[in-house]
């Protein structure tokens, strides 16, 4: 038996060397079944039952190795796929959390914007009212100045509060405006 294995090994070596040196002489059947052909060529009768049993064992052993290798490769592939899926799930959870934070920030900024807009509306109303008051006061001053130019100053009583533009206490009233009037 040991003799046949050694002979098969030598025959395979010679087969590979011969085919490497003369690639044009390659036979398709030799390429598909190099070990089988080497054993057949090595056996004295060409179809020895012990040689075919050894060949069958060798082929079965290779088939088992290939099957084990394929199973291991499939297991590694499944593990890699599961790891990738776990990483994607972690990433999805992180993105959902970031999205929730962004949405809450948007809601908070929107609320602040609405408050500032309401305050601006109140301030605009107060500014408009103050502008109207200023215009009224300027008209009064213009009236007084025009009256002063036509009337002698000795005739005007300075004690009269209505005609004294610097003493207009009865005109100073608080401005009442609220945001509720402008927000609907």
CA 91 to chain centre: 9
- Residue 120, in any domain of the structure: yes
Residue-wise pLDDT for 10-21, tens only, equals 666 666 555 555
Helix (H, G, I), strand (E, B) or coil at 113: helix
- How far apart, in whole angstroms, are the C-alpha atoms of residue 80 and residue 87? 11
| Domain match, 68 and 129 both | no
| Domain match, 127 and 66 both | no
Predicted local confidence at residue 13, as pLDDT = 63
- Residue 102, in any domain of the structure: no
Contact 182, 118 (CB under 8 A): yes
- Residue 128, in any domain of the structure: yes
- Residue 97, in any domain of the structure: no
Q: Which of 19, 49, 73 is the last residue of a domain?
A: 73
Residue 146 lies in domain: 112-181
pTM, 2 dp: 0.41
| Residue 30 pLDDT class (50, 70, 90 cuts) | very low
| Domain match, 69 and 123 both | no
| Domain match, 64 and 125 both | no
| Residue 148 pLDDT class (50, 70, 90 cuts) | confident
- How far apart, in whole angstroms, are the C-alpha atoms of residue 20 and residue 27? 12
Contact 42, 11 (CB under 8 A): yes
- Kindly state the average pLDDT of the residues 60-88: 96
CB atoms within 10 A of CB 5: 13
- How far apart, in whole angstroms, are the C-alpha atoms of residue 43 and residue 21? 24
Summary mean pLDDT of the chain: 76
Q: Using CA atoms in the order 78, 83, 84, 89, what is the torsion angle rounded to 10 degrees?
A: 130
Predicted local confidence at residue 120, as pLDDT = 96
Q: Does residue 46 register a pLDDT over 50?
A: no
Predicted local confidence at residue 28, as pLDDT = 44
Number of domain units in the chain: 2
Residue-wise pLDDT for 95-143, tens only, equals 999 999 999 999 999 999 999 999 999 999 999 999 999 999 999 998 8
| Domain match, 119 and 67 both | no
Comparison of pLDDT for 50 and 78, the residue scoring more: 78
């Amino acid at each position: 038996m040991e003799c046949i294995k050694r002979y098969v090994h030598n025959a395979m070596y010679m087969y590979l060397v011969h085919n490497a040196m003369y690639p044009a002489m390659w036979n398709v059947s030799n390429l598909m079944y190099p070990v089988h052909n080497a054993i057949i060529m090595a056996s004295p009768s060409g179809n020895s039952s012990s040689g075919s049993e050894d060949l069958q064992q060798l082929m079965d052993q290779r088939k088992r190795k290939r099957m084990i290798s394929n199973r291991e490769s499939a297991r590694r592939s499944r593990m890699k796929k599961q790891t990738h899926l776990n990483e994607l799930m972690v990433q999805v959870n992180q993105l959902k959390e970031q999205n929730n934070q962004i949405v809450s920030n948007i809601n908070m900024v929107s609320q602040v914007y609405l408050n500032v807009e309401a305050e601006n509306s109140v301030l605009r109303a107060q500014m408009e009212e103050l502008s109207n008051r200023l215009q009224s006061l300027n008209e009064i001053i213009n009236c007084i100045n025009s009256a002063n130019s036509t009337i002698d100053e000795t005739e005007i009583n300075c004690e009269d509060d209505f005609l004294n533009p610097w003493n207009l206490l009865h005109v100073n009233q608080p401005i009442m405006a609220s945001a509720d009037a402008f927000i609907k």
